[in-house]
Structure formats: structure tokens, C-alpha cells
Structure 1
Amino acid sequence: MGELTDKIKGNVNEMVGKAKEALGDHNRDADMKAEGQAQQVEGKGQQLKGSVKGALGDNI
């Protein structure tokens, strides 16, 4: 995957994670809230991966 693809997937995971966290908070569902937080972390990791690829080139 290329830099842009990783960054887009990361952004999507962060947005979905934020929505799950808010929904879990609203419904007092600790599992959903934790799942949303984990998905946000995954999204940040994907964005970082995309940034590294951008800095070093896509062929890493």
C-alpha cells in the first residue's frame, strides 16, 4: 500500500473509532467505548506508517 492509502485508512479508522467511543459512552457500553479507543490508536498507527512511507519512499 502506498502512503496516501495508509493515511486514508488511518483517518477512516480514527473517525469510526471516535464514533464508536461516543456511542459506547452514550450507551454506557464500556466494551464498545474501548473498541473505539483501540480503533483510534490503530488509525494513528496507520497514519504514522503512511508518513514514514512518504518520507522514505513507498518501497519499504
Structure 2
Amino acid sequence: MGYDDKASNQAENLGGKVKEGVGKLTDDESLEAEGKGDQASANLKQAGEKVKDAVKDVFKS
């Protein structure tokens, strides 16, 4: 996984956690859901990058 992609995914995940936390504090269900969605998106992207890396490793051998 590229360092840029990894950093971007981590930033998106962190931003999602912040949104979720602010949503909980302010009773804003929409913001809380958006934060959870951002986290899920970041996790999905990270999983995709891991699959790409695994495929590259298989074909290097």
C-alpha cells in the first residue's frame, strides 16, 4: 500500500471519528451517521489497498 493512500485513509477514518463524536455530543444523528459512513469508507479503501498489495506480492514471486 502506498504511504499516501495509507495516510489518506487514516485521515478519513480519523475525520469520521471526529464527526461521529461531535454528532453524539450535539445529538445530531445525521452528522453521527456521516462520521460512521466516512469510517466505513476509509476501512473499505484500506482493505482494497491490502488486496492490491497481496496480488502484487503473488505475481512478484
Instruction: Provide the TM-score with structure 2 as the length reference.
Output: 0.80
* Bigger fraction of residues in helix: 2
**Structure 1, residues 4-59: CA drift from partner, whole Å, max 9, x if none?**
233222211110000000000011100000000000000000110111111112xx
**Count, aligned residues:** 55
RMSD, aligned α-carbons: 1.1
Instruction: State which structure, 1 or 2, has the greater radius of gyration over its C-alpha atoms.
Output: 2
Gaps spanning 5+ residues in structure 2: where?
57-61
Q: Could you tell me which residue of structure 2 aligns to residue 32 of structure 1? A: 31
Larger deviation: 5-14 or 46-55? 5-14
- Structure of higher RCO (CA pairs closer than 8 Å, 6+ residues apart): 1
**Identical columns (%):** 29
Gaps spanning 5+ residues in structure 1: where?
none
